[in-house]
Amino acid sequence: MFMTIGYALLGSSLLLAADKSLSQTVPPEGKQAEARLIAVLQSADTSQKDKADACRQLAIVGTKQAVPVLAGLLADEKLSHMARYALEPIPDPAVDDALRDALGKLKGRLLVGVIVSVGVRRDAQAVPALVKLLEDPDSDVAQAAARALGSIGTLEAAKALRAALGKAADADRQLAICEGLLRAAENLAAKGDRDSARGIYDQLAALPKLPRHVRTAALQGKLTVSGKQ
């Protein structure tokens, strides 16, 4: 019972952190806690565990004030993941600016992580940078970019994925682009753009070389946007 209550309280805190009004109405104790947590991250004498714990708490109370120090940890092999964990729920556009900036500076696993966070936040301004990464020599980076574009789900992102499908250098990239397209179609349909969603489903369903489960998902999506059972 106590564990259930604890999870409920944690969920409520995370929902509050996602409320955009929170950045303007943070209570004094929240600001003080944030300042202490930022100081923990900036201290050279703090252990990695304590810094990770600070990031975990900043995911709840963090505001624009915490963004610069958290962004500085995106290149840290040991703390990048926790920095992104703290950044993702902060409802300030400064987070998106920091993540887009990191797209042009990081490589490998760290870059993949930032791309994932960009997708989580559905930052439409990051679409041009992500489109360029679709052809990155690192296949993991290219696959992450495809999935993030699908999560963002704008018409621009969908068009880029449709164009990239026939250019995929290997099966893994092609499958990631298909996944991105299916995500984009769902997002476009949810926004009322059923025609664009149907165009994506038609493209995927008509390519016999694609895996069967991709074509099946495309057919199911096509029927759904057409209003058929």
Q: Break the chain into its structural domains and give their ranges.
A: 1-91, 123-229
Note the CATH number of domain 123-229. Answer: 1.25.10.10
pLDDT beyond 60 at 208: yes
Helix 139-152 vs helix 171-190: crossing angle, to nearest 10: 10
Q: Which residues contact 165 (CB under 8 A, 6 or more apart)?
A: 174, 177, 178, 181, 203, 207
Q: For all residues of the chain together, what is the average pLDDT?
A: 88
d(CA 54, CA 124): 29
Confidence of residue 228 (pLDDT cuts 50, 70, 90): low
Q: Which pLDDT score is estimated for 229?
A: 58
pLDDT tens string 171-189: 999 999 999 999 999 999 9
pLDDT tens string 99-142: 999 999 999 999 999 999 999 999 999 999 999 999 999 999 99
Q: Which residues contact 108 (CB under 8 A, 6 or more apart)?
A: 138, 140, 141
Q: Which pLDDT score is estimated for 166?
A: 86
